[in-house]
Every structure is written in structure tokens, then in C-alpha cells.
Amino acid sequence: MTRPGSDHLQPTASPYDAWADHYDLVEGDRTPFLDFYGSLPRPGDRSVLELGCGTGVVLAPIHASLRAAHPGEPIHAVGVDAAAGMLDKARLIFPEVEWVEGDLRAPPVNGSFDLVFCCFNTLQMLPTPRDLGMAFSAARALLAPDGRYAFDIYRPNLDVLRRERRDSLSRSIVDGARRLELREDARFDEAASILHLEWRLVDLADPSRPIAATRYAIRQFHPDEVRRLLADAGLRIVADYGDFDRSPASASSRKQVLVCAPA
């Protein structure tokens, strides 16, 4: 089945095209993501789809472990991303996976998958609940009858969101002989429920001129809204965590980490 095109959708991946060369360096250790999403495939699973796969650092090891668990059997692994620059990296480093350029609200992918996932707050790139509902419906349509759909986003925390920051140090990064800093401006548009971030990557050898810069608009989605949209999309929650340590979701949780199945 061919899915509708994505020409009419507001682009949400452009910050990553500008940042693709620096993405993996800046994001650093991805162990919690790899541990959580890597634990989701069940013994019979042979197909996996990541929506918003970026440079492929999470999907590729899952694909490798599925292959190791089922030697000689066909394993279907597909990563979809809207940023060509991110996919170029993925194709170069992990040529064994199928990488597809497209929008996660209307992924240009056919078939059904045992595991569909969308990790690292990617769904917060979507500007409205309507977009989030489209993403949930698209994931649901690509799930095998007993498949699982997993994702993580932040749980909105107004105390944190309302703290405006100017040129604040977000991360220190050592890259060989280089000493880098990620510097951040942050402003929360409470009416639109969008956190605006501006990132600058600075080499301390010449801090006056950033090596790279990008801007993110990060939509905050309340847990009640997420639950309603999941139900509307025909998805039921089978695991509801407050973080990657699998602590139960609560009002003080940092994240919303959900595993869903067809309703």
C-alpha cells in the first residue's frame, strides 16, 4: 500500500541538516537509548522500523542483534528520516540497513513491522497535536497485528521550561585535541507550548566564532493529550514508564517512555 505524500506537511527536520556533521559528537553517549530500545525486540521479531532514525546509531545495533539472533534468516530493518544530511551519515556507516528519506507523519514505507519506534524526543519536533496524531496513526498502520510501537518524549515541566537561558553552557565536549562547548539560548513560548532552543558549537581555541549553529522548536505534549491521541490512532499502552530505567510514570517523571500495541 502506498501512503499519501508529505508535501503539505510543515517541515520539521531542517535543524538537523544544518547539524548533521556534529550530531553524534554533540549527543555523546547513547547507552540508555540503546539499552531500552535494544531490549524491546521479542524472540520472534524479525522486522524493525525506526521513524526519525537520524544517523542510525540506535537502529543499526538493533538490526545487528536481530541478525545475530536469527542467523541466515531475512531480517527487515528500515530507518526513515526527513533530513538527507542525517541519512547520508547513516548510509555511510551502516550500509546494511535500508534508509529512506521521508516524513514520519506519512512514511514512504510499505509492509508491517514487529517493532516500530521513534526515539530521543523526535516526536517533539512536531508542531501540533494534529501532527502527533498523524505520526501515531502512521506508526499504527505499519505495525504487525501483534507489533509494538515505542517512543520517548519529555514530560512537560513548567519550572524547568520557564527558566530562560542566554549563552548558557549546555555541554563540554572533548574531541581529540579540540575542546568544544555547546552553548544554548532557551525561551519557552507558553501559549504555543513550544520551547525554542538555539545551539552554538564553540571551539575554545576560538570562542568568538561558532563552528556550527542550529535552532530547535520543541513542542511539549501533556501526558493526557498523548493518551488521547494514542487511543484515537488505535493504539493501547502496554508499558508506561517515567524514564529509561523503567520507573513507573508519575507527575514527577522526567520523561514519557511508552510501549504500545494495536488496540
Single out the residue of 16, 36, 99, 199 in contact with ligand SAM (rule: CB under 6 A).
Answer: 16
25 membership: H or E segment, kind and range: helix 23-27
Nearest distance from C-beta of residue 62 to ligand SAM, angstroms: 11
Closest CB to ligand SAM among residues 88, 203: 88
106 near ligand SAM, rule: CB under 6 A: no
Are 63 and 77 in contact by the 8 Å Cβ rule? The answer is yes
119 near ligand SAM, rule: CB under 6 A: yes
Closest CB to ligand SAM among residues 203, 243: 243
Closest CB to ligand SAM among residues 37, 71: 37
Closest CB to ligand SAM among residues 18, 203: 18
Closest CB to ligand SAM among residues 125, 202: 125
CA–CA dist 138, 235 (Å, integer)? 11
Nearest distance from C-beta of residue 56 to ligand SAM, angstroms: 8
Tell which positions 33-52 bind ligand SAM, by CB under 6 A.
33, 52
Closest CB to ligand SAM among residues 86, 249: 86
DSSP string, the chain: -PPP--TTSPP--HHHHTTTTTHHHHH---HHHHHHHHT---TT--EEEEES-TTSTTHHHHHHHHHHHSTTS--EEEEEES-HHHHHHHHHH-TTSEEEE--TTS----S-EEEEEE-TTGGGGS-SHHHHHHHHHHHHHTEEEEEEEEEEEEPP-HHHHT--EEEEEEEEEEETTEEEEEEEEEEEETTTTEEEEEEEEEETTSTTS-SEEEEEEEE---HHHHHHHHHHTTEEEEEEESSTT-PBP-TT-SEEEEEEEE-
194 near ligand SAM, rule: CB under 6 A: no
133 near ligand SAM, rule: CB under 6 A: no
214 near ligand SAM, rule: CB under 6 A: no
182 near ligand SAM, rule: CB under 6 A: no
Stretch in the footprint of ligand SAM (CB under 6 A) among 82-90, 140-148, 165-173, 192-200: 82-90
For residue 17, give the DSSP letter: H
Nearest distance from C-beta of residue 205 to ligand SAM, angstroms: 28
Cα Rg of the chain, angstroms: 18
Nearest distance from C-beta of residue 72 to ligand SAM, angstroms: 29
CA–CA dist 176, 187 (Å, integer)? 32
19 near ligand SAM, rule: CB under 6 A: no
86 near ligand SAM, rule: CB under 6 A: yes
139 near ligand SAM, rule: CB under 6 A: no
Applying CB under 6 A, the residues found at the interface with ligand SAM are 12-13, 16, 33, 52-54, 57-58, 81-83, 86, 103-105, 119-122, 125
